[in-house]
Amino acid sequence: MSRCSAWSGWQSCRGAWTSCCSSETPPPSTPPSTPNVTDPDERATRLSALAELNTEVIACRRCPRLVAWREEAARQRPRRYASDAYWAKPVPGFGDPDGGILIVGLAPAAHGGNRTGRIFTGDRSGDFLFASLHRVGLANQSTSVSRDDGLQLRGAYVAAIVRCAPPTNRPTPEERDTCLPYLVRELRILSEVRVIVALGAFAWDGALRALAALAYVARPRPAFGHGTEAVVGPYRLIGTYHPSQQNTFTGKLTEAMLDAIFVRVRAFAEVAR
């Protein structure tokens, strides 16, 4: 069975399809008959390059403010995490290195990814995100609580614009620019990616900057919006509200809205193969 064979997820998704530049055509009811096959040597090279990149990411100490904050968060931990051994380092990307989808967030949470060592893991935003990915067949389970919880992504990879937890969840422009080369390298390595999902305006802006560094410049520059699409070079960039508690608790982003985004994303990724 291929990693994209869990097609029943299509029918569990709810919500209207919205797009600024695509037709409102529903997703296919069956998967493509010819799945993408990755050359073994190419895959080995990709895995080696990712491992090298992730080693560099984890060792990074280039932003003094972020280093101080991520380590302070580990020392001043909430009582509910008093017995946890915090990661307290930059958080690398995670997922299927052969996938056609790259999901990009803002940064790790101080007591989420900064604690667990995996992006969107151990916090409410991750709970909301991975539950949606599971419903549409892009993840093997709906929860993400630790690095060794058995979570696997199918056809998708998750990363962040900034790899360290920032104070008040707000990286500076300088911190963004210092970290951005990691995303640029990820895009080069993840050569099967054709669809990029930006979780929030900060990720949308960062993704456009990373694509520009690869000589793919969107003109005119597209504004962020939930459901907005932009074709940039060989990539389709799709925006969604960030699954933060501020958005999910207020109903600005619902399960149906996020599911509908990932249904579209998965359809585009399959067509591109």
Average pLDDT over residues 38-52: 92
pLDDT tens digits along 211-232: 999 999 999 999 999 999 999 9
- Comparing CA positions, the residue from 173, 56, 72, 161 lying closest to residue 114 is 72
Give residue 131's region: left, alpha or beta (phi > 0; psi -120 to 50). Answer: alpha
Give the side-chain half-sphere CA count within 13 A for 97.
Answer: 19
Q: Which position has the higher pLDDT, 178 or 16?
A: 178
Element containing residue 66 per DSSP (H, E): helix 64-75
Whether pLDDT at 71 is above 60: yes
**Which residues in 106-130 are b (16+ Cβ under 10 Å) and which e?**
bbbbbbbbbbbbbbbbbbebbbbbb
Question: Which residue's entry shows tokens 């210092």?
Answer: 178
Q: What percent of the chain has pLDDT over 90?
A: 84
Structure token digits, residue 266:
């998965």
**DSSP codes of every residue in 162-226:** SSSPPGGG---HHHHHHHHHHHHHHHHH-TT--EEEEESHHHHHHHHHHHHHTT---SSPPPP-T
What confidence tier does 117 reach under pLDDT thresholds 50, 70, 90? Answer: very high
Structure token digits, residue 36:
């993408």
pLDDT value of residue 12? 34
User: Has domain 40-272 been given CATH number 3.90.660.10?
Assistant: no
Residue 105: strand pairing partners: 160
pLDDT value of residue 273? 67
Give the mean pLDDT of the chain: 89
What is the rounded (10 degree) CA torsion for 15, 228, 110, 122?
A: 30
Structure token digits, residue 180:
């951005």
What confidence tier does 272 reach under pLDDT thresholds 50, 70, 90? Answer: confident
CA 40 to chain centre: 25
Cα–Cα distance between 14 and 241 in angstroms, integer?
16
pLDDT value of residue 135? 98
Are 242 and 124 in contact by the 8 Å Cβ rule? The answer is no
For the chain, what are the domain ranges?
40-272
